[in-house]
């Protein structure tokens, strides 16, 4: 193996968040807006609580089976706690990628370089919206099971997705972030 290849794989490894082992996840139904649970700030969660650990596993399992789904917040499955799962590894706009993970009590520490893009959400199936999001981000949050705090820097699509999910945990939808009166569009269904 050449030096450059081993350096590259080391860099990739250091980026991926190593998740503690989780129990088997269950598939949960998605809550669709309008719903109070989507529009209220969620409470802090204890990442070592067995129920929160099971929730983390359920979010990952439910995210995996939904086509194109890159993230799922606990209140999207009806649980008002600050927990979400994320995995943007398959998305074409991803640059930096931390793999598949769950963060508890996550918050944004730094957000810069706004860009506008059109977003949709599994909990808002009939609309899309033009939203400005930072494309450089520093976030921190706790891992389930151990409660270890992790802090990392990311960019591009992972940064956008993290802001979308952290917004969910704070009771905001992309509809709350729309860039102007004409920034919300019906999602074309052509019944």
Q: Contact residues for another protein (CB under 8 A)?
A: 68-71, 91, 93, 117-122, 128, 157, 160-161, 164-165, 174, 182, 185-186, 188, 190-191
Question: Which of Zn ion, another protein, none does 90 bind, CB closer than 5 to 8 A by kind?
Answer: none
Q: Tell me: does residue 74 bind Zn ion (CB under 5 A).
A: no
**Contact between 30 and 77 (Cβ < 8 Å):** yes
Beta bridge partners of 155: 136
Residue 165 designated active-site: yes
Residue of 42, 15, 26 whose CA lies nearest to 101: 15
From 21, 107, 158, 165, active-site residue:
165
Question: Of 58-66, 116-124, 126-134, 183-191, which part binds Zn ion (CB under 5 A)?
Answer: 116-124
**Rounded to whole angstroms, what are the CA distances from 171 to 16, 29, 126, 164?**
28, 18, 19, 11
Closest to Zn ion by CB, 61 or 127? 127
138 three-state secondary structure: strand
Shortest reach from residue 102's CB to another protein, in Å? 16
Closest to another protein by CB, 70 or 145? 70
Shortest reach from residue 149's CB to another protein, in Å? 24
How far is residue 70's CA from residue 174's CA, in Å, rounded to a whole number? 15
Neighbour-count burial of 110, counting CB atoms closer than 10 A to its CB (0-12 exposed, 13-18 middle, 19+ buried): exposed
How far is residue 53's CA from residue 75's CA, in Å, rounded to a whole number? 15
Q: Tell me: does residue 121 bind Zn ion (CB under 5 A).
A: yes
Per rule CB under 5 A, count of chain residues that contact Zn ion: 1
Q: Tell me: does residue 86 bind Zn ion (CB under 5 A).
A: no
Give me the active site residues, please: 165
């Amino acid at each position: 193996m050449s030096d450059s290849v081993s350096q590259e794989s080391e860099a990739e490894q250091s980026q991926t968040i190593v998740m503690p082992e989780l129990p088997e996840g269950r598939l949960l139904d998605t809550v669709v807006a309008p719903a109070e649970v989507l529009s209220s700030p969620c409470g802090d969660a204890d990442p070592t609580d067995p129920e929160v650990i099971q929730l983390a596993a359920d979010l990952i399992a439910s995210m995996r089976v939904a086509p194109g789904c890159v993230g799922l917040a606990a209140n999207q499955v009806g649980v008002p706690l600050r927990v979400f799962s994320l995995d943007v590894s398959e998305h074409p706009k991803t640059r930096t990628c931390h793999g598949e993970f769950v963060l508890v009590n996550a918050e944004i520490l730094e957000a810069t370089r706004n860009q506008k893009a059109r977003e949709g959400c599994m909990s808002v199936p009939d609309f899309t919206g033009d939203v400005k999001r930072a494309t450089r981000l520093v976030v921190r949050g706790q891992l389930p099971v151990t409660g270890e705090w992790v802090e990392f820097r990311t960019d591009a699509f992972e940064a956008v997705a993290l802001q979308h999910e952290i917004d969910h945990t704070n009771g905001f939808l992309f509809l709350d972030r729309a860039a102007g009166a004409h920034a919300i569009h019906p999602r074309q269904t052509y019944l």
